[in-house]
């Protein structure tokens, strides 16, 4: 999930570069994680997900950030 908060985005990228990819590389899985940082950058923000849900016909949409913005949950109702 992409966050609108700069410090959260920087923390995620740091974790990918300094924890996730090195551990994956140690297990011979570097290629499987090459897409991750770019994918997160391109992912929609919580506000964008809410707007998309409303445009798709949901009557309500609320995005909740979890774990300081590291994850999120979109709750939408018809």
pLDDT confidence of residue 3: 64
Decide if 32 is inside a domain.
yes
> Could you tell me if residue 36 is inside a domain?
yes
Domain that holds residue 56: 6-77
Residue 37 lies in a domain: yes
pTM, to two decimals = 0.67
* Residue 20 located in a structural domain: yes
24 membership: H or E segment, kind and range? helix 21-26
Residue 56 is predicted with a pLDDT of 98
CB 74 within 8 A of CB 46: yes
| Domain-embedded: residue 1 | no
**CA separation for the pair 3, 65 (Å, rounded):** 9
Give pLDDT < 70 ranges for the chain. Answer: 1-4
Assess if residue 40 is contained within a domain: yes
- Per the structure, how many domains does the chain have? 1
What pLDDT, on a 0 to 100 scale, did the predictor assign at position 39?
85
């Amino acid at each position: 999930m992409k966050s609108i908060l700069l410090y959260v985005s920087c923390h995620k990228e740091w974790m990918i570069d300094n924890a996730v990819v090195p551990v994956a590389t140690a297990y011979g899985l570097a290629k499987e994680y090459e897409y991750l940082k770019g994918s997160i950058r391109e992912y929609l923000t919580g506000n964008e997900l809410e707007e998309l849900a409303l445009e798709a016909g949901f009557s309500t949409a609320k995005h909740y950030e979890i774990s300081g913005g590291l994850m999120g949950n979109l709750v939408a109702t018809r």
